[in-house]
Amino acid sequence: MAATMNLNVRVDGEIKRRADSIFAELGLNTSAAVNIFLRYCVRCAGIPFDLRLDASEAARLAFQNAREAFAGEAQRLGLRDEDDVTALVDEIRAGLWEERNANPA
């Protein structure tokens, strides 16, 4: 067996207590559960589950990226914040954006 190493991590106390309770029901301690997780990461060459941003964070990042990449175009379109981007996407999906821009007021 390979030499073992210590791993120190900081976690929220309540999360650890809840996880320890689950591990105990499975007949595991935290060390065994972490070892299982790490071995599975190695086996699948990545995190063994999807990592996703929540919708509001994804919209914020999309707006930030759009603002940086297309600052002039965003200003021309009147996009000031994430809500404007969301509204524009909704208009595009509904087919209203083309109509609005074909007949500017």
Encode pLDDT of 38-74 as tens digits. 999 999 899 888 777 677 777 777 777 766 776 677 6
Per DSSP, the three-state class of 1 is: coil
Encode pLDDT of 1-45 as tens digits. 678 899 999 999 999 999 999 999 999 999 999 999 999 999 989
- Angle value at C-alpha 64, between 96 and 46, nearest 5 degrees: 110
Between helix 55-69 and helix 82-94 the angle, nearest 10°, is 90
Whole-prediction pTM:
0.48
What is residue 68's predicted lDDT score, i.e. its pLDDT?
Answer: 73
Count of other CB atoms within 10 angstroms of residue 95:
8
Domain range summary for the chain, segments of one domain joined by +: 1-51, 55-102
Encode pLDDT of 87-102 as tens digits. 877 887 887 656 666 6
Asked if 55 and 81 count as a contact pair (C-beta separation under 8 A), the reply is no
Between helix 13-25 and helix 30-44 the angle, nearest 10°, is 90
Q: DSSP code of 4? A: P
